[in-house]
């Protein structure tokens, strides 16, 4: 797995070491553990997946984490991405999961393995305002547009990584950088395939204007 992510261009040593140290097989169902370290996603139940290792490493690297950074993850899932973030020294991790069963399973798993992650069950569309602003935000489900609450909770000079696009197909992975004037610089990082962003927030704001893959979407 490590050889694969390095061969595909991951260079941040902190990310590589986190990927090396976190036992991925403990974050997948027992029947799939033989496949844990293959470079592809695996099902974790409730229509959700654990992302392929390369995508986990890429999204983590794109956050450009620095010592003392506070990170918000939207979509805890199995807890694997949260564990990778928590394994990077001097990083404080907050994570939200909308599916109660997955939130509970992830909380127990992360606690048992000793990863310091502040988690809660809730609708990630609205972020976690109580602990904002965040130096980095990572979203692990494909949104129709970038949720306005997440933009508001991103600190100045903060980085957000999020897949944007329609459900049921390929989306675009975007990296955003929040400038001092509050505007966002957008960087297209290529095509990806994620499970769709769900919840009342996404449903309520369906069709709302917002960044949806081009500058004109603002």
Per-residue DSSP letters for 129-149? GGG--EEEEEE-SBBSS--HH
* Domain at 2-209: CATH code: 3.40.50.150
% of the chain at pLDDT higher than 70: 92
The CA angle 4-6-10, to the nearest 5 degrees, is: 125
Which range is least confidently modeled, 62-66, 71-75, 158-162, 207-211? 207-211
Tell me which residue of 42, 40, 5, 10 sits closest to 27, measured CA to CA: 42
Query: pLDDT at residue 213 above 80?
Result: no
Strand pairing of 92-97 and 117-121? parallel
Q: How confident is the model at residue 216 (pLDDT cuts 50, 70, 90)?
A: very low
Model pLDDT, residue 217: 34
Mean pLDDT of 42-50: 94
Mean pLDDT of 59-67: 98
Query: pLDDT at residue 202 above 70?
Result: no
Mean pLDDT of 160-165: 96
Question: In terms of DSSP H, where are the helices of 77-144?
Answer: 80-86, 100-113
Query: pLDDT at residue 123 above 60?
Result: yes
Distances (CA, A) of 54 to 19, 93, 172: 10, 20, 16
Q: What's the CA gap between 101 and 92, in Å, rounded?
A: 24
Q: How confident is the model at residue 35 (pLDDT cuts 50, 70, 90)?
A: very high
Model pLDDT, residue 218: 31
Model pLDDT, residue 211: 55
* Rg, Å, the chain Cα set: 16
Give domain limits for the chain. 2-209
Mean pLDDT of 84-110: 97
Model pLDDT, residue 214: 45
The better pLDDT of the pair 213, 50 is held by 50
Catalytic-residue membership of 51: yes
Mean pLDDT of 4-17: 98
Q: What's the CA gap between 214 and 218, in Å, rounded?
A: 8
> Which pTM was predicted?
0.92
Tell me which residue of 125, 71, 69, 121 sits closest to 94, measured CA to CA: 71
Q: How confident is the model at residue 169 (pLDDT cuts 50, 70, 90)?
A: confident
The catalytic position among 21, 30, 36, 51 is 51
Chain length of the chain: 218
Query: pLDDT at residue 206 above 70?
Result: no
The better pLDDT of the pair 154, 195 is held by 154
Tell me which residue of 77, 73, 20 sits closest to 47, measured CA to CA: 77
Question: In terms of DSSP H, where are the helices of the chain?
Answer: 2-7, 13-21, 53-62, 80-86, 100-113, 148-153, 200-204
Q: How confident is the model at residue 1 (pLDDT cuts 50, 70, 90)?
A: very high
Asked whether the CA dihedral 169, 175, 178, 179 is positive or negative, the reply is negative
Distance linking the first and last C-alpha atoms of the chain: 38
């Amino acid at each position: 797995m490590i050889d694969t992510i390095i061969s595909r261009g991951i260079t941040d040593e902190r990310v590589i070491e986190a990927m090396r140290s976190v036992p991925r097989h403990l974050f997948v169902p027992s029947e799939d553990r033989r496949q844990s370290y293959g470079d592809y996603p695996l099902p974790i139940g409730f229509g959700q997946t654990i992302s392929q290792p390369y995508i986990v490493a890429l999204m983590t690297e794109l956050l450009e984490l620095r010592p003392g950074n506070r990170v918000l993850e939207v979509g805890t899932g199995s807890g694997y991405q949260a564990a990778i973030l928590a394994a990077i020294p001097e990083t404080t991790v907050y994570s939200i999961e909308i599916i109660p069963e997955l939130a509970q399973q992830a909380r127990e798993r992360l606690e048992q393995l000793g990863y310091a992650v502040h988690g809660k069950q809730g609708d990630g569309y609205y972020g976690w305002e109580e602990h904002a602003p965040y130096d980095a935000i990572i979203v692990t489900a494909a949104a129709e547009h970038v949720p306005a609450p997440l933009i508001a909770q991103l600190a100045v000079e903060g980085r957000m990584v999020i897949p944007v696009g329609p459900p049921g197909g390929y989306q675009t992975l975007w990296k955003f950088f929040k400038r001092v004037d509050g505007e966002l610089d957008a960087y297209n990082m290529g095509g990806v395939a994620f499970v769709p962003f769900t919840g009342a927030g996404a449903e309520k704001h369906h069709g709302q204007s917002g960044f949806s893959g081009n500058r004109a979407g603002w």
